[in-house]
Every structure is written in structure tokens, then in C-alpha cells.
Chains A and B, each alone.
Chain A
Amino acid sequence: MIYLDNAATTLIKPASVQRAVLEALGSMASPGRGGHPPAMKAAETVFNCRLAAAELFRVPEPEQVVFTLNATHALNIAIHSLAKKGTRVLISGFEHNSVTRPLNALGADVTVFGQELFDREAVLEDFKKKLPGAQLAVCTHVSNVFGFVLPVYEIAALCRQRGVPLIVDASQSAGVLELDMRRLGAAFIAMPGHKALFGPQGTGILLCGQKGLPLLQGGSGSESILQQMPDYLPDRLEAGTHNVCGIAGLLAGLEYVREKGTEEILRHERRLLAQAREELKDSGLELFTGPEGSQCGVLSLRSPRLDCETAAALLAEQGICVRAGLHCAPIAHRSAETLKTGTIRLSFSPFVAERQLSAACAALRKLA
């Protein structure tokens, strides 16, 4: 099997992740509940994971690292904390439904900025133009469809100047690009655990620059006599039993990323991207690629004769796993004018070898 659907979930994980999950399953109870050894062992693991995430993403205090089920859950907490009916929200032209659907459900007044694929300057210019009057901005760091790296640090600086809170969706960048909470000064940064942080599915992280509003209420293991959620992090946003096995795996994934280094991971993924561009350049397939530095981890393409789902099914028959369709991001496809067709998406990870990509490219050439 050649697995090229890492932008959805990394299937191939470091061996340490699987070991950590199994170890937790057999030995850890629930943190913040009992005081007995299995509960305290779970608490230790969860705390170590907070510390590891705080270190990797330069978060001032481990309390600001909140565990969620996935990035969607994290984004929902962030959005429900800062937006309500009528709130004027700026979103990039490359957001996922996990941003647009909650905003739509709340009745926020949404304006889209920056729909120019792979043109960071144009995106920034449009953001500057539309920022006055905005009450909230939401920006993905990297488009899940095209791998377009948005100018999120520049956008963050403009938000800080204007006092506009910013939510960053780091679903595709966490574990690959530098992600610095201190430098961004964002209100919230949301990310999944199961993509480039190599945790299991069912893990996510919300980095909190502010307290936020609980999406769920329930047991927190603290201040149990009160009928409101605690007013401090992380307890405020973590109602119910933690996914301890998942968090144990996520900790192992974070340790892998720290040891390998995001620079090396990014270098590898960009090498693969360049290789795919080179091997497919005269194939007759339509490739969506940007100038140097504007793309990472993901390559979208279209076949001139096959619809994307048929093409992906043909690849799957050959053991090549890619994703096709709209990738839960219709707005990104609208920006790139691919909404009617969708795209075939290849997405990389440190566990994709060059020879595997070559074999996938050979199969892809036959789809033209």
C-alpha cells in the first residue's frame, strides 16, 4: 500500500505511538478523578503531553493547552467563544467546513478575504482592505486542499495592531511548519492530533490565548460543588473523561516530531512535492502548484478525462490511497474554481518514501 492521504489522517505512525496507546490502555485510569496510582499515572501522561505541546508550539503555560476530540471540536470551542449572531468575521478563502459551518450556524456576518491561490501578497492585501470593522478573523495556516501556506504571521500582526482576535486553524501545519503561539499572539490555535502530530484519531488540541467558553459542561474533577464550569484553564474547556489512550499516543507523536524536527519534516515533504511536480509535469494532468515557499505537504490535481472520484477509486484498486472530492472545503474550491470537479489530493508525511511516490506518479500518469 502507498498511503498518500496524510492530510486527512496519518495512517503510518511512529511505532512508539502504538506502544504508548497500548501501555495506556492497560495501565492508566482517568486523570483528575481518583488519587490512586492508575489515575495519577494517567494524570502524569496527560500533563507531560501538555508540556510537550506547550514546548513545541511555544505556549507560555501548559494550562493553555486544552485537549479536544479533533480540530473541529477545537475550532468549535474557539468560534463559539468569540462569535455570535451578527459578529463580523473575516475568513480566508481556503477555510474548511469546520470553520464555515459553525459560523453559519451562529448567524455570523462572514466576509471572505484572499481567494487568490498561491498568491500570499494578494491574500494579505485583501485582508488589509477588509480588516477595518471586523470583530474576529479566522485563518487557516495551510489549505487542506492545495497546501497553500497562507501569510498567517503577517495576518496575526495586523490583527494585533487592530485589536481583532484571531483564530488560527493549524490542522495542516502543526508538526510541519513553525507554529509559535507567542509570536502569533492568537486568541486560539486549533489542531488535530491525528495528522502530522501522529496521535491516534480522536485527539486534538486547542491552544488558548484566552479563557474561552465551554462548549460542554460536566465533570472536571475540580470545584465539584459548583454548578458552573471552573473559570480557569484547562478545566474550563475539558468536561468529561479524557481520551487518555489517545493522549498517550499523541505524546509519543509529539516526541517523534520534536526529535525529528519540523524543519526536517518540512524539507522531506517539500522534496516529495518537488518530485511529484517533476514526475507529473508532462503527464497531461492539471497540477495545482505554487511558487517556492507557498505550498507544503499537499498536491491537488485533476485528470482531463476522469472525474476525481473515479480516478481515486482506480488508484485505490492499485493500493494507492489518495483523497478525492471537495475535501470538506467548498470555499477553497470556489476560490480555485474547482468547485464543480473537485480534485484528487496527494498528501505527504515523513513516512512516504520517494520510491513509493514514484510508483504512485507512474499510476497517476495513466489517468491523463
Chain B
Amino acid sequence: MTQYYIMCRSLTAAQRSARLLERSGITAVVVKAPQGLSSSGCGYAVLLRRRFDEAVALLKRNELLRGKLFSRSDEGEFTEVRP
């Protein structure tokens, strides 16, 4: 199943985003961002398995969408997703 990574600029921002999504019934997990997705070293992301578009819209409405978005295929390949 495709996984989605919403990159966040800080751990706190990732936690805020995940809480917001969880409150709306969207399962979201804070994870360390896979190396290579962040241009400036260590970072955090919110990992989703479903309802990606809905999540992106919700974060955008709440001004929490500040990082890049990626999908990860079953083969482990990352592709940037444009909202």
C-alpha cells in the first residue's frame, strides 16, 4: 500500500499536524523523515496510509502545511507529490 509523508519543519509541527488529523479521524503517525527527503538534515514527517488528499486539505486550512509531500511505493521508491 502506498504511504504518504508530509514533511514538517520541526518535531513540534509534526506533532501538531498529527494531532489535528487524529482529531478528524485520520490515522497519522509522527516519524523521523527518511534520509534524503529533507534537504537540511534530520527532520520529522507525518506518515499516512490513507485519506491523503483530505489530510492535505485539512492541514492547509489550518496553515500547517509547510513542507514537501512524498509518496512511497511498495517498492520503497519516493516521489514528490504536488498538492
What distance in Å separates the Cβ of A15 from its nearest Cβ neighbour in chain B? 28
- On whether the beta carbons of A224 and B15 are closer than 8 Å, the reply is no
Q: Which of B15, B40, B44 has the most CB of A within 10 A?
A: B15
Give the residues in chain B near A223, CB-CB below 8 Å.
Answer: 9, 38, 40-43
- On whether the beta carbons of A43 and B41 are closer than 8 Å, the reply is no
Give the residues in chain A near B42, CB-CB below 8 Å.
Answer: 221-224
The answer to whether A73 has its CB under 8 Å from any CB of chain B is no
- On whether the beta carbons of B40 and A224 are closer than 8 Å, the reply is yes
- On whether the beta carbons of A226 and B11 are closer than 8 Å, the reply is no
- On whether the beta carbons of A63 and B10 are closer than 8 Å, the reply is yes
Please pick, from A35, A62, A226, the residue contacting B32 in the complex, using a CB distance under 8 A: A35
Q: State the CA gap A232–B8 with chains docked (Å).
A: 12
Closest residue on chain B to residue A65 by CB atoms: B12
Give the residues in chain B near A61, CB-CB below 8 Å.
Answer: 16
Please pick, from B16, B31, B40, the residue contacting A35 in the complex, using a CB distance under 8 A: B31
Q: State the CA gap A235–B43 with chains docked (Å).
A: 12
The answer to whether B21 has its CB under 8 Å from any CB of chain A is no
Interface size class of B (residues with CB under 8 A): 10 to 19
A 55-94 binary contact with B (CB < 8 Å = 1; else 0): 0000001110000000000000000000000000000000
B 1-29 binary contact with A (CB < 8 Å = 1; else 0): 00000000111110110000000000000
- On whether the beta carbons of B41 and A62 are closer than 8 Å, the reply is no
- On whether the beta carbons of A31 and B40 are closer than 8 Å, the reply is no
The answer to whether A40 has its CB under 8 Å from any CB of chain B is yes
**A window 22-51: CB within 8 A of B:** 31-32, 34-35, 40, 43-44, 47, 50
Give the residues in chain A near B11, CB-CB below 8 Å.
Answer: 31-32, 43, 47, 221-222, 235
Interface size class of A (residues with CB under 8 A): 20 to 34
The answer to whether A230 has its CB under 8 Å from any CB of chain B is yes
Q: State the CA gap A225–B15 with chains docked (Å).
A: 22
Closest residue on chain B to residue A225 by CB atoms: B41
The answer to whether A200 has its CB under 8 Å from any CB of chain B is no
Q: Is the interface of A mostly helix, strand, loop or mixed?
A: loop
Q: State the CA gap A43–B32 with chains docked (Å).
A: 12
Assuming A35-B31, A35-B32, A43-B30, is B40 touching A226 (CB within 8 A)? yes
Closest residue on chain A to residue B31 by CB atoms: A35
- On whether the beta carbons of B41 and A226 are closer than 8 Å, the reply is yes
What distance in Å separates the Cβ of A357 from its nearest Cβ neighbour in chain B? 42
Assuming A43-B15, A62-B16, is B10 touching A224 (CB within 8 A)? no
Give the residues in chain A near B41, CB-CB below 8 Å.
Answer: 222-226
The answer to whether A234 has its CB under 8 Å from any CB of chain B is yes
Q: State the CA gap A32–B43 with chains docked (Å).
A: 9
| Residues of B that sit less than 8 Å from A by CB | 9-13, 15-16, 30-32, 38-44
| Residues of A that sit less than 8 Å from B by CB | 31-32, 34-35, 40, 43-44, 47, 50, 61-63, 221-226, 230, 232, 234-235
The 3 closest A-B pairs by CB, nearest first: A224-B41, A35-B32, A225-B41
A-B contact pairs, 16 of them (CB 8 A): A31-B11, A34-B32, A47-B16, A62-B12, A62-B16, A63-B12, A63-B13, A222-B10, A222-B41, A222-B43, A223-B43, A224-B40, A225-B41, A226-B41, A234-B10, A235-B12
Taking A222-B11, A223-B42, A224-B42 as given, write out 17 further A-B residue pairs in contact, using a Cβ cutoff of 8 Å, ordered by the A residue number.
A31-B11, A34-B32, A40-B30, A44-B15, A47-B11, A47-B15, A221-B42, A222-B41, A222-B42, A222-B43, A223-B43, A224-B40, A225-B40, A226-B41, A230-B10, A232-B9, A234-B10
